[in-house]
Amino acid sequence: MILDVTVAATGQVTRVQVDRQGTDAPAALEMAAITAAQQWKFNPGHAGGRPVGGVLQVPVHFSLNDEQADAGRSEPCPAGNIFDVQAATCIPHAPHSVSPASAN
């Protein structure tokens, strides 16, 4: 599933919704992902030297098999990295996209 996460210029999450294209996750997993994302804090993007908000598309993958659950980490990845559950490793400087927040 992909979450559309709206982030304010302060880094606070202001809105989270599931991108419906290609999502077939059960409602319980969608709610778990939304609830977790609402607690995240981001370093905002900058434009013209000033912090700006934006919308991130964050892929969320759930795994319920024992092999991948055993690959969990007790420590988070360093800032700017993403933990790959299947490979059980941090991906340094993982790419991510930010687009300016649209007026609601």
> What's the pLDDT at 15?
94
**Average of per-residue pLDDT across 44-71:** 77
The pLDDT of 51-63, averaged and rounded, is: 86
How many structural domains compose the chain? 1
Domain range for 45? 2-100
What pLDDT score does 79 carry?
A: 61
Distance, CA of 42 to CA of 89 (rounded, Å): 21
* DSSP assignment string, the chain: -EEEEEE-TTSBEEEEEEE-TT----HHHHHHHHHHHTT-B-PPEEETTEEE-EEEEEE-----SHHHHTT--SSPPPTT-EEETTTTEEETT----EEEPPP-
If one compares 50 and 79, the residue with the highest pLDDT of the two is 50
Q: Using the Cα atoms of residue 77, residue 22, residue 30 and residue 52 in order, give the sign of their dihedral.
A: positive
What digits encode the pLDDT tens for the residues 3-22?
999 999 999 999 999 988 86
What pLDDT, on the 0 to 100 scale, is given for residue 10? Answer: 93
Reading the block at residue 4, the tokens are: 């559309």
